[in-house]
Amino acid sequence: MLTSDIWVAAIVMAAVLKVAAADVSPIVDNPLIDIPAGPFVFGRDDGPQNERPRRVLAGQLFAINRTEITNRQYGRFIEATGHRPAFYANHPLLGLDDRPVVGVSWEDADAYCRHYGLVLPSEQQYERAARGTKGSAFPWGEAPPDETRTNSGTDACCSGNARDGYLMTAPAESFAGSASSEGVLNLVGNVWEWTRSLYAPYDGGHAARSTGPYRVLRGGSWNSDRNHLTTTYRLAYDPEFRFSANGGFRCVRSSP
Ligand SMILES: [Ca+2]
Ligand SMILES: [Ca+2]
**Ordered per-residue pLDDT tens for the chain, 256 residues:** 444 454 444 444 444 444 434 447 899 999 999 999 999 999 999 999 999 999 999 999 999 999 999 999 999 999 999 999 999 999 999 999 999 999 999 999 999 999 999 999 999 999 999 999 999 999 999 999 999 999 999 999 999 999 999 999 999 999 999 999 999 999 999 999 999 999 998 865 454 455 568 999 999 999 999 999 999 999 999 999 999 999 999 999 997 6
User: Quick one: which H or E segment has residue 15?
Assistant: helix 3-22
Q: How far apart are CA 120 and CA 195, in angstroms?
A: 5
pTM here?
Answer: 0.89
How far, in Å, from the CA of 256 to the mean position of ligand 1? 38
pLDDT value at residue 198: 94
How far, in Å, from the CA of 193 to the mean position of ligand 2? 6
Question: Closest-lying ligand to the alpha carbon of 223?
Answer: 1
Decide: 42 and 124 in contact? Cβ < 8 Å: yes
How far, in Å, from the CA of 157 to the mean position of ligand 2? 17
How far, in Å, from the CA of 84 to the mean position of ligand 2? 23
Q: Hey, CA dihedral for 212, 108, 217, 43, is it positive or negative? A: positive
Query: What are the residues whose beta carbons fall under 8 Å from the beta carbon of 149, sequence distance 6 or more?
Result: 138, 140, 143, 175, 177, 178, 188, 189
Structural domains present in the chain: 42-254 (3.90.1580.10)
Q: How far apart are CA 232 and CA 6, in angstroms?
A: 51
How far, in Å, from the CA of 131 to the mean position of ligand 1? 22
User: Quick one: which H or E segment has residue 193?
Assistant: strand 192-198
How far, in Å, from the CA of 94 to the mean position of ligand 1? 13
pLDDT value at residue 212: 66
Radius of gyration of the chain (CA): 19
How far, in Å, from the CA of 48 to the mean position of ligand 2? 20
How far, in Å, from the CA of 7 to the mean position of ligand 2? 43
One-letter amino acid at 115 equals H
Question: Closest-lying ligand to the alpha carbon of 152?
Answer: 1
Query: What are the residues whose beta carbons fall under 8 Å from the beta carbon of 125, sequence distance 6 or more?
Result: 35, 62, 64, 195, 252, 254
pLDDT value at residue 205: 47
How far, in Å, from the CA of 222 to the mean position of ligand 1? 5
pLDDT value at residue 255: 72
Task: Taking each helix axis as running N to C, give the angle between helix 106-115 and helix 71-81, from 0 to 180 degrees, rounded to the nearest 10.
Answer: 80
How far, in Å, from the CA of 250 to the mean position of ligand 2? 9
239 conformational bin, left if phi > 0, alpha if psi -120 to 50, beta if neither: alpha
Question: Closest-lying ligand to the alpha carbon of 169?
Answer: 1
Question: Closest-lying ligand to the alpha carbon of 168?
Answer: 1
How far, in Å, from the CA of 6 to the mean position of ligand 2? 46
